[in-house]
Chain A
Amino acid sequence: MQKTSKELRDIRSNTKLKFKSSRIMICSGTGCTSSKSDKILEELKKKGKELGSDVIIEKTGCFGFCAKGPIIVIEPEQTFYEMVKVEDSEDIIKAVISGTKVERLMPSENDKFIQKWHELNFYNKQKRVALKNCGYINPEDIDEYIAVDGYLALEKVLTGLTKNEVINTVLESGLRGRGGAGFPTGKKWQFTAASKSDVKYVCCNADEGDPGAFMDRSILEGDPHSVLEAMAIAGYAIGSNQGYIYVRAEYPIAVERLKIAIKQAKKYGLLGKNILGTDFDFDIELRLGAGAFVCGEETALMNSIEGKRGEPRPRPPFPAVKGLFAKPTLLNNVETYANVCQIILNGSEWFSSIGTNTSKGTKVFALGGNINNVGLVEVPMGTTLREIVYDIGGGIPGGKKFKAAQTGGPSGGCIPNQHLDTPIDYESLTQIGSMMGSGGLIVMDETKCMVNIAKFFLEFTVDESCGKCPSCRIGTKRMLEILTRITEGKGKVEDIDRLEKLANVIKNASLCGLGQTAPNPVLSTLKYFRDEYVDHIENKNCAAGECKALTKVIINPEKCKECGICQKNCPTNAIMGEVRKGPFEIDQTKCIKCKVCVAKCPFKAIS
C-alpha cells in the first residue's frame, strides 16, 4: 500500500512517541549474535511476558564496542549493559519495571558507573554520522527508520530539488568514496548523469573483502534503509530506475536485513513505481558475491553481477560511460551511501565543516588486532592514529608496546610508531606509504614480525589474484616465494632488491587496483622495518620470535630440574638426556619448534 507524504509524517510522529517509552535494545550485529545475543533476546521476551511487562524489546544494530558484547542499551535513559548473559534477562526486565539499573552489568570508569552509553571514553572522540541509527532503531522495522527522518531526504529530493541541485549538493559536501580510492562522489554522479542512455544503473558495492574490516556489514545490518534511500536519490540524480546491491554471501544477517528492508520499502511505495506520487520509478535487486576479493574492484564486480568470472575490465571506458550490462553505471560503496541522506537533510556545508581540507566528513574504522577495545569506531577525518589507538581503543593489552597499525588491508601498509600523530585523511595516509582503504585498522604489538605480516598479505593476494594479468599472477607469487625464503632463514642479501624491483613492475603493469596495490604491504614494511628484513637475512634472526624456523627452543640448564617431562611430551624425540642425570638438551636438528615442551615444563626452564 503506497504511502503519501502525509501518511509518512503520521508514521514519523507516532513512532517518535514510541521512542519515549522504555525500550530494551539488544545488539544483533554479527559480533554480538556470535556471542548469543539472539538467545538473550528470546529470553528477555519470555521473561517480559512472565513478569507482565509491556516494555518494548527489540533488535538493533552495532553499538561498535564489540569487545564488550553482547551489549544492551535501555532507552530512553541510554543505560549501557555490557557482556550480558542469558541469565541476566530477568534482572534486566525487573530493573526496567522498577525504574532501577542492574549495576553489575554497567561499565565503570575511574571507579564511577557510566550512566549513558555516549559518556563512555570509547565514544568520547567519536562522531557517528554513517552509524547514526545503528544502536538506536530496529533495522527490521521501516517505521522506526522513518521516525528518525528516514525517507525524508528522498521526499525532499523528489518534491523540491532538480537533478543538478542534488548532484551539486553532493559535490559541494566534499564527500569522497569510502571504499578505498577516495574519488569525489559528486564527480562520479556528475559523469554518470552526463552519459546519454535509455537505461542506467545504480550499484552499491557491499563486497567488503578487506580481511578485518566490517564497517559496511554493520551499516547494512543496523541501518539498511539508509542505503536503499541513498540509492534511490542517486537514481533520481543520474536518471536511473534500477539499482543493484552486490553483497557478500558470507554476510547472512546483512543479506537477510536487506531483503526485509527492500520488501518493506516496496510495500510503502518507497521503491517501485511512482515513488511518493511522483513519476520517478526505482527498484533495487540483491546480488550475492561468492567469495572473491577482486570483486570489490568496480569492473570485476560488474562482471560478477552479469554472471561471469569476476575479472576486471580495462578502463576506459569507465563505468560512468559503459558499465553494468554495457550501460552507464554509478557505483558507490555502502558507507558512502550511508552519508548521502544526512548530506541532503543537513546541507553540504554541515558535512564539509567536519574533517580536513581535502577529506570531509567522518570515517568508520574497524579496530582490531592487539588492542583492548576491539570494535567499530567512527571519527572525524583528521583524527590522529594515536587518538584512535589509545584514547578510543584503550591501548595495547598485556602492557606490550605498539609496533604498527595496518590500514587499507592487503592494498595498504603498516604505519609505525613515529607516524602515530599523523591526522588521518586520504592524502596523509598515502604520503606515509599506506592508504585509507575501506577502513580496516589492525593494531600490532611488539611480538609481531613485520616480514611475516608482509608474507601473510602476499599469501592473500596470491590467493585472490584473478589471474588475468601476468604481472600480478606471477609477480606476487615470486614475491611470496622470496618472503617465504626469508622467513625460513634462507634469504639472500640480494632478495630485498629483488622484492623492490618486482614490486614496481607489478604496480605498473597490472590492470586493476588489486595488482597495483598488492606490493604495498611489502614496500611499507621495507620502508619502516628494513632492519627486520636484514636481521632475518644476515643474522638468521627473527627478533619478534614469530618465524619458527629462525627461533630456537632452548632449555635453561640452571632452571632444569632434570624431571624428564619435556622428553616424554616431545613429539619428535628431540630432547636428549636422562632423568636426574644432568640438565636435558634439545637437538636443534630434530626440533620442530612446536613448543609443547615450553608449555609442559613445570619449572618454566624452556623458552
Chain B
Amino acid sequence: MSHCDGCTGCTVDDKVVKIAKKFKDVDGGIMSALHEVQDEYGYISESVQKYLSKELSVPMSDIYGIITFYSRFSLVPKGKYNVQVCMGTACYVKGAEDVLKEFKDELKIDVGQVTEDGKFSLESVRCIGACGLAPAIVVNSEVYGKMSPDKVKEILSKYN
C-alpha cells in the first residue's frame, strides 16, 4: 500500500502505483491508466482518481470529466457478473429490446444498476460485433448468441 501525499487518509494498491508509474511520462497517458484501473478493479474509485491526478499531473476535474464521458469507465463497482445486452442495430432488429426487458424483469434492476446482493449488473451496449449471432448478450466475457426472452432464466441460473 502506498500513501498519496496530496490528501489525508486514502491509500491505493501497489498495482495502482505501478500503473501510474507506467503512464506518467506517456503523452495522453491518463486514458491508458484509467483503462488499466478499470480492467483491474471494475471501477475507478475516488482515492485512485486522486492518486492518478497527482502522479500524472491531471486535475481531478479533468479525470472526473473523462470517466463520466466514456461509457467504459465506471465510478461505481459493477456486479460480480456483468450482463451486457447488445443493442446494436442488427440485434435490435432481431428483438434485443425484448431480451433486455426480460433481464430487467428477472433481475429486478434497470440498466446501469447492480442487484442488491452485488451479483449481477445490467448494461445495454452498442454492438459487440457478433451480428451473425444476433441478438447477442455477454456475461463477463462469455458470449451468448441467438437470444430470446425465454433463454434468460436459464442463462442467469448458470451463475447462481
A211 contacts which chain B residues (CB < 8 A)? 87-90, 92, 126-127
Judge whether B70 and A292 touch: CB under 8 Å: yes
With beta carbons under 8 angstroms apart, the residue of A33, A292, A309 that contacts B71 is A292
With beta carbons under 8 angstroms apart, the residue of A212, A290, A369 that contacts B73 is A290
Residues A366-383 near B (CB distance < 8 A):
366, 368-370, 374-375
Cβ proximity bits A188-219 to B, threshold 8 Å, 1 near / 0 not: 00000000000000000000011111100100
Judge whether A307 and B125 touch: CB under 8 Å: no
Interface stretch among B2-10, B29-37, B75-83, B151-159?
Answer: B29-37
Cα–Cα distance between A209 and B30 once the two chains are bound (Å): 22
Judge whether A442 and B132 touch: CB under 8 Å: no
Task: Closest B residue to A443 by CB, please name it.
Answer: B93
Instruction: Decide yes or no whether A317 CB sits under 8 A from chain B.
Output: no
Say yes or no: A409-B132 contact (C-beta < 8 A), given A304-B31, A307-B30, A307-B58. no
Q: Shortest distance in angstroms between A37's beta carbon and chain B's nearest beta carbon?
A: 12
Residues B105-160 near A (CB distance < 8 A):
125-134, 136, 141, 143, 145
Judge whether B89 and A368 touch: CB under 8 Å: yes
Cα–Cα distance between A456 and B30 once the two chains are bound (Å): 33
Q: Shortest distance in angstroms between A388's beta carbon and chain B's nearest beta carbon?
A: 15
Q: Shortest distance in angstroms between B44's beta carbon and chain A's nearest beta carbon?
A: 11
Task: Closest B residue to A456 by CB, please name it.
Answer: B92
B128 contacts which chain A residues (CB < 8 A)? 30, 250
Instruction: Decide yes or no whether A67 CB sits under 8 A from chain B.
Output: yes
Cα–Cα distance between A540 and B141 once the two chains are bound (Å): 43
Say yes or no: A31-B131 contact (C-beta < 8 A), given A290-B31, A304-B31, A460-B126. yes
Judge whether B71 and A291 touch: CB under 8 Å: yes
Q: Shortest distance in angstroms between A235's beta carbon and chain B's nearest beta carbon?
A: 18
A310 contacts which chain B residues (CB < 8 A)? 69-70
Instruction: Decide yes or no whether A34 CB sits under 8 A from chain B.
Output: yes
Judge whether A369 and B90 touch: CB under 8 Å: yes
Judge whether B62 and A308 touch: CB under 8 Å: yes
Cα–Cα distance between A34 and B134 once the two chains are bound (Å): 11
Judge whether A369 and B69 touch: CB under 8 Å: no
Say yes or no: A374-B131 contact (C-beta < 8 A), given A287-B28, A456-B92. yes
Judge whether B32 and A291 touch: CB under 8 Å: no
Q: Shortest distance in angstroms between B130's beta carbon and chain A's nearest beta carbon?
A: 5
Judge whether A306 and B130 touch: CB under 8 Å: no
Say yes or no: A288-B69 contact (C-beta < 8 A), given A211-B88, A375-B132. no
Residues B44-89 near A (CB distance < 8 A):
58, 62, 65-66, 69-73, 87-89
Q: Shortest distance in angstroms between A71's beta carbon and chain B's nearest beta carbon?
A: 10
Say yes or no: A35-B88 contact (C-beta < 8 A), given A290-B70, A370-B93, A442-B93. no
Instruction: Decide yes or no whether A444 CB sits under 8 A from chain B.
Output: yes
Instruction: Decide yes or no whether A69 CB sits under 8 A from chain B.
Output: yes
B129 contacts which chain A residues (CB < 8 A)? 30-31, 214, 217, 250-251
Cα–Cα distance between A292 and B90 once the two chains are bound (Å): 19
Task: Closest B residue to A64 by CB, please name it.
Answer: B132
B89 contacts which chain A residues (CB < 8 A)? 211-212, 368-369, 406, 409, 440, 442, 456-457
Residues A304-360 near B (CB distance < 8 A):
304-310, 325
Query: How many residues of A are counted as interface, with CB atoms below 8 angstroms from the partner's CB atoms?
Result: 50
A370 contacts which chain B residues (CB < 8 A)? 93-94
Cα–Cα distance between A66 and B143 once the two chains are bound (Å): 15
Instruction: Decide yes or no whether A536 CB sits under 8 A from chain B.
Output: no
Task: Closest B residue to A311 by CB, please name it.
Answer: B69
Instruction: Decide yes or no whether A448 CB sits under 8 A from chain B.
Output: yes
Judge whether B31 and A291 touch: CB under 8 Å: no
Q: Shortest distance in angstroms between A78's beta carbon and chain B's nearest beta carbon?
A: 21
Q: Shortest distance in angstroms between A267's beta carbon and chain B's nearest beta carbon?
A: 22
Cα–Cα distance between A406 and B62 once the two chains are bound (Å): 38
Judge whether A291 and B133 touch: CB under 8 Å: no
Instruction: Decide yes or no whether B13 CB sits under 8 A from chain A.
Output: no
Judge whether A374 and B127 touch: CB under 8 Å: no
Cα–Cα distance between A168 and B117 once the two chains are bound (Å): 63
With beta carbons under 8 angstroms apart, the residue of A30, A288, A444 that contacts B93 is A444
Cα–Cα distance between A599 and B94 once the two chains are bound (Å): 18
With beta carbons under 8 angstroms apart, the residue of B32, B92, B143 that contacts A288 is B32
Task: Closest B residue to A214 by CB, please name it.
Answer: B129
Judge whether A309 and B69 touch: CB under 8 Å: yes
Judge whether A306 and B69 touch: CB under 8 Å: no
With beta carbons under 8 angstroms apart, the residue of B27, B70, B92 that contacts A306 is B27
Cα–Cα distance between A35 and B143 once the two chains are bound (Å): 8
With beta carbons under 8 angstroms apart, the residue of B29, B72, B87 that contacts A307 is B29
Instruction: Decide yes or no whether A364 CB sits under 8 A from chain B.
Output: no
| Most chain A CB inside 10 Å of its own CB: which residue of B69, B71, B136 | B69
Cα–Cα distance between A69 and B29 once the two chains are bound (Å): 39
Task: Closest B residue to A445 by CB, please name it.
Answer: B93
Instruction: Decide yes or no whether A236 CB sits under 8 A from chain B.
Output: no
Cα–Cα distance between A599 and B31 once the two chains are bound (Å): 49
B31 contacts which chain A residues (CB < 8 A)? 287-288, 290, 304-305, 307
A289 contacts which chain B residues (CB < 8 A)? 70
Task: Closest A residue to B31 by CB, please name it.
Answer: A307
| Most chain B CB inside 10 Å of its own CB: which residue of A287, A288, A307, A460 | A307
Q: Shortest distance in angstroms between B96's beta carbon and chain A's nearest beta carbon?
A: 10
Judge whether A31 and B130 touch: CB under 8 Å: yes
Residues A273-297 near B (CB distance < 8 A):
287-293
Say yes or no: A442-B70 contact (C-beta < 8 A), given A31-B130, A31-B132. no
Q: Shortest distance in angstroms between A495's beta carbon and chain B's nearest beta carbon?
A: 23
Cα–Cα distance between A212 and B93 once the two chains are bound (Å): 10
Name 16 extra pairs, CB < 8 A, besides A307-B58, A370-B94, A466-B69: A34-B130, A69-B132, A209-B126, A209-B127, A210-B127, A211-B90, A211-B92, A212-B91, A292-B69, A307-B27, A307-B28, A309-B66, A368-B93, A374-B90, A406-B89, A448-B93
Residues of A in contact with B (beta carbons under 8 Å apart): 30-31, 33-35, 66-67, 69, 209-214, 217, 249-252, 287-293, 304-310, 325, 366, 368-370, 374-375, 406, 409, 440, 442, 444, 448, 456-457, 460, 466
